Structure 1
């Protein structure tokens, strides 16, 4: 698949212009202290990277099976339905436990898949290529609305509204967005569409089930990496004094080495999960190239 220089300009313009507008909004908000500008900062920061990646993905297919309106529906309707359904199910089905992150992954990947099936109704074809693009649109829509919620939570602190925490949250989630929900739903969407193409109707095949479980595990590892890193640090470096404090119900103060190890383990773990997801996506794209050929 080849991409011309002109094909790349739309998503580049979206990213550059959006980034400049977001930065300008942050500066003006900080200078004026005007709280009515905060929704602008939240929305621009939360939607910039997801919208850019959807524009990039849709621009790579010279003969898409769906219109831009269908992509917008996948992003907005799929994202909102996914967030709402996941919130309801997680509220009533999950409780704090060691398996909570796995439960979150199972629920969120399921509702995104169902949202994808809903927005894909009536398409003229169902190929892996189309599943990758439309699945990414649903996943990035989910990520955008979820990021907006996290941004609002970080904004409200016990000391009042914190613009700095809002900006830090949006920067971090923006950097990590490409290897999160959009990636996982693109993978599952490709396999779902391949099964739909082969059987002429939606089928829960062995490949679909294994892919669903696979992206769920990636999701759970991603969400739970903070706890995994903490457990690794405690297992490798915990002192007798810290053990005693934990037994007495106190939270011990970490040493400098433990803080650095925690940061290292956390980021290395996230990188490993991201690489696994990207390698999986790359394998699917190579399969698309072999089966469909360049467009």
Structure 2
């Protein structure tokens, strides 16, 4: 069994055991352990997997740790500050969030790798993914903590559901987007070239589409299946009831959109890695 598989299985068992014991005993002191295990398990596993697939003497365990912890924490702190100043409820809110979060992760990646003198595209992909997964882990911990509190008191069920959903989606979220940016950045020798800036805008757009998919799915569902009485209620500011069929359409559109965004990002990452390999082969001839 490979290292990343052992890490995932051991972490999963420990997380499940902590959830069961916390639910059985009602001991709230165990809640932070549930949050940390659930939020960090998938990101750490994918970082170890990526490191094993692209071993490089330049990407050390120490550098990975710094990229994950320092880069991820700096990204979350920077995003929190900028979003508190710049993000306001509006149609373009998700675009601003995408630009901010991808921007701070790019800046964090540049900071933690500033002393690297030799760079390859694959190094950038691995370190970019590491910063992104660090960001995702810290962000997921915050979402899980907030999900704990409900109007009826503490809800371990909502905490666990939040961690499971974010764990499933983590590999095609922050880690993937920053891996693309890292590969493009390192291909440009760490400089903010036109290609890097265009990639930043493209990744930010994918991020914005991902975050706004819930609203997009609602709009598409109403456009396809909406009734006159529902639009009438919306015009006077009331939220209409939805039919069972509309719930199914919304779910299908929402997940189809997320899958489409993920496939675009995965294809982009594959082309970035392939381009880096071709460049390395040409230079080695």
Q: TM-score, normalised by structure 2?
A: 0.96
Partner residue of 2:210? 222
Matches within 5 A, 1:278-293: 278-292=266-280
Q: Partner of 1:250: helix, strand, or coil?
A: coil
For 1:86, the equivalent position in structure 2 comes to: 79
Q: Say yes or no: does 1:134 pair with 2:112.
A: no
Q: Please tell me whether the aligned partners of residues 177 and 203 of structure 2 are also in contact (alpha carbons under 8 angstroms).
A: yes
- The offset of 1:59, in angstroms, is 1.4
**What runs of 5+ residues in structure 1 fail to find an aligned partner?**
1-7, 197-201
* Partner Cα distance (1:62, 1:220) in 2: 32
CA distance in 1, matches of 2:101, 2:182: 14
The Cα offsets for residues 200-253 of structure 1, whole Å up to 9 and x where unpaired, read as xx4221210111011011100100000000010111111111111112221111
Equivalent residues in 2 for 1:132-171 (5 A)?
132-171=125-164
CA–CA separation in structure 1 for the residues paired with 2:55 and 2:201: 32
* Aligned-pair CA distance for 1:62: 3.2
Separation in structure 2 between the aligned mates of residue 236 and residue 34 of structure 1, nearest angstrom: 48
Shift of 1:152: 0.6
For 1:248, which of 219, 236, 239 is the aligned residue? 236
Q: Which of the residues 53, 63, 69 maps onto 2:56?
A: 63
Deviation, structure 1 residue 100: 0.5
| TM-score of the aligned structures, taking structure 1 as reference length | 0.93
Equivalent residue, structure 2, for 1:33: 26
User: What is the number of residues matched between the two proteins?
Assistant: 282
Residue 10, structure 1, aligned to residue 3, structure 2: yes
Of 211, 224, 234, 1:236 maps to 224
Task: Tell me if the contact between 1:135 and 1:182 (Cα under 8 Å) persists in the aligned partners.
Answer: yes
How big is the shift at 1:124? 3.4
Preserved contact between residue 66 and residue 123 of structure 1 (Cα < 8 Å): no
1:245-265 Cα deviation digits (max 9, x unpaired): 112221111111111111110
8 Å CA contact 2:38–2:167 kept in 1: the answer is yes
Partner Cα distance (2:41, 2:172) in 1: 15
- After TM superposition, what 4+ stretches of structure 1 lie above 3 angstroms from structure 2? none
